[in-house]
Chains A and B, each alone.
Chain A
Amino acid sequence: MSIFNAILQKPKGIRFESQEKEEQLYFLLRRHPITNLGWIIFSIFLIVAPLALMSFILNNKIDTFKYVQSEYQIILLILWYSLTMLYTFESFLIWYFNVYIITNKRVIDVDFKGFWGKRISEAPLSNVEDVTYETKSFLHILFDYGDIFMQTAAEKTEFEFTSIPKPSLVHNKLTDLVEEHKKNGHSK
């Protein structure tokens, strides 16, 4: 399913806000799914914790109704799971909407900042001067993901695509695009 894809090459059915008519989307990238492991494990813990607590209470025959009314117990349980749902959903949204876009004209970095807004940075390919990629840990090598750094001639001098899958493939394609773009000189 494309909803969980972290690397989409020439994706169909996807457009972005400022896309021009003749602008082609080459890559839509998200952080590698393995980077979600932290919040996924925490969400599983949040789901399992009340169940574990309940089984502990039942096994030890502790009468919790002496301390907290049954209605409150049910509502606290529902609240717990709703907050778990909110946390999981929000974590997923942060991953889903933090995207890096590479087109035949520019690179775009969309930062989704949870409840508080978004930040969009972009640089035309003509401004890209140097593209470097880096894999720096065991997990990076194991799951084939890493960071891409782009030096640009603009005010914002460096673009960083963090934890993207297949960095070598993206790096190759990006350098090809930059070279092609500079050769043809169509920077508009």
Chain B
Amino acid sequence: MDIVNNLTIISQIEIYTIAKWLLEIFLFVYSIISVVVIRQIKFMTITIKSDTNKLIFFFAYFHLAVVLIITLITSVIL
């Protein structure tokens, strides 16, 4: 019975380790996407220069900040 319990605990730990790694990889890709979004906005604001572009940039940087905070929280909590 002990052996079965131990095996269950080990497999649970492995699942969480895999989940944690997947989450970290996902967050890494997500951070890159957030930077790509900023790049594409820069790219487009060259094409169309408008006063409202500042607001778009604000949202893009806010989005990046949120992603970085999530990445930080994830690495601290888990």
Chain A residues packing against B (C-beta within 8 Å): 1-3, 13-17, 28, 69, 71-72, 74-75, 78-79, 82-83, 85-86, 89-90, 93, 96-97, 99, 110, 112, 114-115, 118, 120
Say yes or no: A15-B49 contact (C-beta < 8 A), given A71-B78, A93-B41. yes
Docked-complex contact B48 and A14, CB < 8 angstroms: yes
Closest B residue, CB atoms, query A96: B56
- Which residues from chain B contact A72 at a C-beta distance below 8 Å? 16, 19, 78
Closest A residue, CB atoms, query B51: A13
- Which residues from chain A contact B51 at a C-beta distance below 8 Å? 2, 13-14
Docked-complex contact A75 and B52, CB < 8 angstroms: no
Please report the C-alpha to C-alpha distance between residue A79 and residue B52 in the assembled complex, in whole angstroms. 28
CB distance from A102 to the nearest CB of B (A): 14
Chain B residues packing against A (C-beta within 8 Å): 16, 19, 23, 26-27, 30, 33-34, 36-37, 40-41, 43-44, 46-52, 55-56, 59-60, 63, 66-67, 70, 73-74, 77-78
9 contacts between A and B (CB under 8 A): A16-B48, A17-B46, A75-B78, A78-B73, A79-B23, A82-B66, A89-B37, A110-B47, A115-B37
- Which residues from chain B contact A97 at a C-beta distance below 8 Å? 44, 47-48
Query: Which A-B residue pairs are the 10 nearest by beta carbons?
Result: A3-B52, A13-B51, A15-B49, A97-B44, A14-B50, A17-B47, A71-B77, A78-B70, A16-B48, A75-B74
Please report the C-alpha to C-alpha distance between residue A17 and residue B50 in the assembled complex, in whole angstroms. 11
Please report the C-alpha to C-alpha distance between residue A160 and residue B74 in the assembled complex, in whole angstroms. 47
Docked-complex contact A86 and B33, CB < 8 angstroms: yes
Docked-complex contact B47 and A75, CB < 8 angstroms: no
CB distance from A78 to the nearest CB of B (A): 5
Docked-complex contact A118 and B70, CB < 8 angstroms: no
- Which residues from chain B contact A115 at a C-beta distance below 8 Å? 33, 36-37, 40
Q: A14-B50, A72-B78, A93-B41 are in contact. List 14 more A-B contacts (CB 8 A).
A: A3-B56, A16-B49, A79-B27, A82-B66, A82-B67, A82-B70, A93-B37, A93-B44, A97-B47, A97-B48, A99-B48, A110-B48, A115-B33, A118-B43
